[in-house]
Structure 1
Amino acid sequence: MTYPRTQGSTTDWTRMDDAAFRAAVREFFARHYPENLRYASARLRLDEVRDWYATLSEHGWIAPSWPQEYGGMGLDPGKHVIFVEEQEAHGVARVPDHGIIMVGPLLIQEGTDEQRARYLPRILSGEEIWCQGYSEPGAGSDLANVRTAAVRDGDDYIVNGQKTWSTLAQDGTHMFMLVRTDQDAKKQEGISFLLVDMTTPGITVRPMKTLAGHEEFCEVFFDDVRVPAANIVGEVNRGWSIAKALLTFERLFLGSPKLAQSALSRLGTLAVLTGQNDDPVFRERFAGLEMDVADLNALYRHFSGIVKAGGKLGPDISLQKIYGTETFSRIADAIVEIAGTGAMIGGRAPLGDDGFDVLAAFYNARPATIYGGTNEIQRNIVATAVLDLPRR
């Protein structure tokens, strides 16, 4: 396959007001996004969205927040939020975007000229797809406990260890990962940020099947994997601060109202199909969930407003992730509860003209409270960094 090298968008989006920009993004998705991929019930694999990735790349729309000089759209944070909101509203599936939203911005800010020249064009074209190597057994949300070791050997590092919950690593050509380069340092120190070619000898990828039957996550094993020392990003033993910065902005979108809004709409449809909509007890419960979603929207507007104004998100962004994922989970539980025997059927239950996938939201809600840092860890962040409560 030939991969075109995009030169980025030539439109100066900064001169366009927000309403006009929103309309342009909405029209682009309506014109170019495949109708059959809208509102996918599960994370799509690379082969399913490769053509869409190519379409975004060819139009210079694949990297909304990257500066235009590096092939991006050059959107400011406010317009980037609008871009994501319109993606969600149109039901646009995520492409394999770890390279776009994490590796690229990191290299632009912290990478060397050689790293930028080597990796950025291939991310834009889709020639190289990135996966994340953060979590490990015993180091999930508490990433400072990472034990995967990288030991210097001449011009290389020798990497040994294991990563887990790496999303779609079986489709990745490269991984960005946290490794321990100083075994004697305090746990938040001695961690480095390393880029690894997944075709390097000694790497084994093992997909894990979820409750829903999807192989969305993987375990990745490293056995004497030799990685060039030039693949360290930033300073050696200073990777922890980089990892934290990458996760902060992610939590805004992990707590997006999209999932809860979509699930609430599905709950309303199911209530009509099952006759529950005539039950005053259910209607009271539904009204409560509607108010929860309204509160979630208000919270999201608060934090997205900070971003749109050019401000930086603080530790209180954890509130968005907690409330967003838990509201989604409550609605997903309600769908299962009122579906009756339909909740026992995988795929589409015989409800309505086209059937109804009762379990889709339920399956998606299970990992939502875990990825991006478990909600228990988010509560600890709020307690110590926002409320200034004492640590035990």
Structure 2
Amino acid sequence: MSQDLNSLDDESFRRTVRAFFAEYYPEELRFPKQRLRWAEVKPWFMALSRKGWAAPGWPVQYGGMGLEPAKLIAFIEEQEKWGVARTPDMGLTMVGPLLIRHGTEAQRSQYLPRILAGEHIWAQGYSEPNAGSDLASLRTEAVEDGSDFIVNGQKTWATLAQDATHIFLLARTEKSAKKQEGISFLLVDATSPGISVRPIRNIAGGEDFCEIFFENVRVPQANLVGERNGGWKIAKELLTFERIFLGSPKQSQYALARVREACALLGLERDAGVQDRLTQLELDAADLNALYGRFVQQVKRGEALGPDVSMLKLWGTETFSRIADLLLDITGTAGGLPGDIPAPAGDSEEAINVLTSFYNARPATIYGGSSEIQRNILAGQVLSLPN
């Protein structure tokens, strides 16, 4: 099946994907206003799993679709266009590819089939209260004890960790080494004694993120991925790949559509000040789309992404933030109301939702590496500026 898909021309492939989405994806879940929980998207994930489409980027030999880079990008773009909700996909996008590349055969046999079957749901254990943007300063420790590591510490901003069955984390295994060189990458069963998860309620009332506490948690040394003290290199590899998707223009394009709708409903289509700001942001989004296209072509050619991909994450999230700010500004005092705001003019039954974009834009410039970190990467690793 995967070979047939790869052999299709681009438009035929996209039509095939859209037809599957139209038939099996729940209409009521299109373009969700907030991140959905596992129980809400599990039926959709299982439909993907039965089709063999749960892991479009994995090789066929490991149960994936085996899509070549161009088809993988097209698959993701069609998901965004159809408004497909993101599943709890850390296992698919991070743990799976990591184990395929760096794991042992035993690790691949144990974890990959269960990720595809929806039996294992993974959360990320990277950031800590005093090690977010400066991740290499993490303090969570893993101390050897016989055939195990004993893990103690705390992680925060773990997306939907309350639904996770497993956690992949970075822990310090060598205190005397340079901070980047004393970190290891571990796979942890979330039901292990000593683990507690506490959701963090955000300003919108959601609980998308969690804190995770580890108190004398035993983790088999067989769950070490890669070399001991070699976890930083693995973490950088995952973050680099993540940034091309965090910089997708679709988020900004969707928010721009909401601004245009609001302008029409509020009679601001001829307001020179509003239209000037909107035009500037449309040009910013066009620049973002062009930049995204450049990195997509790199992926399609099978080339590794370099540190310059930080430009994409930086420009994408900050453009989205500026668009969300404009939407808030043009709706005035009504923009501070949560949920759908009825249109103020005429007999229209249309409504405007303002705060969803604003809330989503706030953390976007932080997760996946803050804007400040992206600028430091560009300054040091791309422009070779002095520290």
Q: Which moved more, 1:366-375 or 1:336-345?
A: 336-345
Q: Is the 8 A contact 1:342 1:350 kept in 2?
A: no
**Paired residue for 2:184?**
192
State how far apart, in whole Å, the 2-side matches of 1:199 and 1:33 are: 31
**Paired residue for 1:219?**
211
Q: Tell me which amino acid in the other structure corresponds to 1:314.
A: G
1:59 aligns with 2:51: yes
**Paired residue for 2:199?**
207
Q: Is the 8 A contact 1:150 1:179 kept in 2?
A: yes
1:266 is aligned, of 245, 248, 258, to 258
* Cα distance, 1:10 vs structure 2: 5.3
1:369 aligns with 2:361: no
Q: Deviations over 1:346-378 (max 9, x none)?
A: 111122514221111000000000000001000
> What does 1:221-240 align with in structure 2 at a 5 Å threshold?
221-240=213-232
**Paired residue for 2:355?**
359
> What does 1:345-356 align with in structure 2 at a 5 Å threshold?
345-351=337-343, 352-356=348-352
**Paired residue for 1:4?**
none
Q: Tell me which amino acid in the other structure corresponds to 2:297.
A: G
Q: CA RMSD in A?
A: 1.0
Q: Is the 8 A contact 1:78 1:310 kept in 2?
A: no
SS of aligned partner of 2:215: strand
Q: Deviations over 1:169-217 (max 9, x none)?
A: 0000000000111111100101100000000010010000111111000
* Cα distance, 1:11 vs structure 2: 4.5
**Paired residue for 1:390?**
386
State how far apart, in whole Å, the 2-side matches of 1:347 and 1:230 are: 48
Q: Deviations over 1:143-162 (max 9, x none)?
A: 11111000000011100000
> What does 1:172-321 align with in structure 2 at a 5 Å threshold?
172-321=164-313
Q: Tell me which amino acid in the other structure corresponds to 1:58.
A: R
Q: Which moved more, 1:140-149 or 1:314-323?
A: 140-149
Q: Which moved more, 1:246-255 or 1:17-26?
A: 17-26
**Paired residue for 2:329?**
337
Q: Which moved more, 1:122-131 or 1:11-20?
A: 11-20
Q: Is the 8 A contact 1:13 1:74 kept in 2?
A: no
**Paired residue for 1:121?**
113
* Cα distance, 1:278 vs structure 2: 2.1
SS of aligned partner of 1:298: helix
SS of aligned partner of 1:277: coil
**Paired residue for 2:90?**
98
1:33 aligns with 2:25: yes
* Cα distance, 1:341 vs structure 2: 2.5
Q: Is the 8 A contact 2:199 2:209 kept in 1?
A: yes
Q: Tell me which amino acid in the other structure corresponds to 1:382.
A: L
1:131 aligns with 2:128: no
* Cα distance, 1:25 vs structure 2: 1.5
Q: Tell me which amino acid in the other structure corresponds to 1:366.
A: R
State how far apart, in whole Å, the 1-side matches of 2:60 and 2:9 are: 18
* Cα distance, 1:18 vs structure 2: 2.4
**Paired residue for 1:89?**
81
SS of aligned partner of 1:278: coil
What 5-or-longer segments of structure 2 have no aligned partner?
none
Q: Is the 8 A contact 2:57 2:64 kept in 1?
A: yes
* Cα distance, 1:19 vs structure 2: 2.5
Percent identity (aligned): 60
State how far apart, in whole Å, the 2-side matches of 1:21 and 1:74 are: 14
Q: Is the 8 A contact 1:45 1:171 kept in 2?
A: yes
State how far apart, in whole Å, the 2-side matches of 1:231 and 1:156 are: 9
1:322 aligns with 2:314: yes
TM-score by length of 1: 0.96
Q: Deviations over 1:220-247 (max 9, x none)?
A: 0000001111000111110110000011
* Cα distance, 1:24 vs structure 2: 1.5
1:379 aligns with 2:371: no
**Paired residue for 1:48?**
40
Q: Deviations over 1:296-355 (max 9, x none)?
A: 111111111111111111100000000000110000000000112221211111225142
Q: Is the 8 A contact 1:98 1:131 kept in 2?
A: yes
State how far apart, in whole Å, the 2-side matches of 1:318 and 1:13 are: 31
Q: How many corresponding residue pairs? A: 383
State how far apart, in whole Å, the 1-side matches of 2:305 and 2:13 are: 23
Q: Is the 8 A contact 2:2 2:67 kept in 1?
A: no
State how far apart, in whole Å, the 2-side matches of 1:25 and 1:388 are: 43
1:20 aligns with 2:12: yes
State how far apart, in whole Å, the 2-side matches of 1:249 and 1:12 are: 26
SS of aligned partner of 1:93: coil
Q: Is the 8 A contact 1:209 1:215 kept in 2?
A: yes
SS of aligned partner of 1:213: coil
State how far apart, in whole Å, the 2-side matches of 1:12 and 1:319 are: 35
Q: Which moved more, 1:159-168 or 1:134-143?
A: 134-143
* Cα distance, 1:138 vs structure 2: 1.3
Q: Is the 8 A contact 2:154 2:212 kept in 1?
A: yes
What 5-or-longer segments of structure 1 have no aligned partner?
1-8
TM-score by length of 2: 0.97
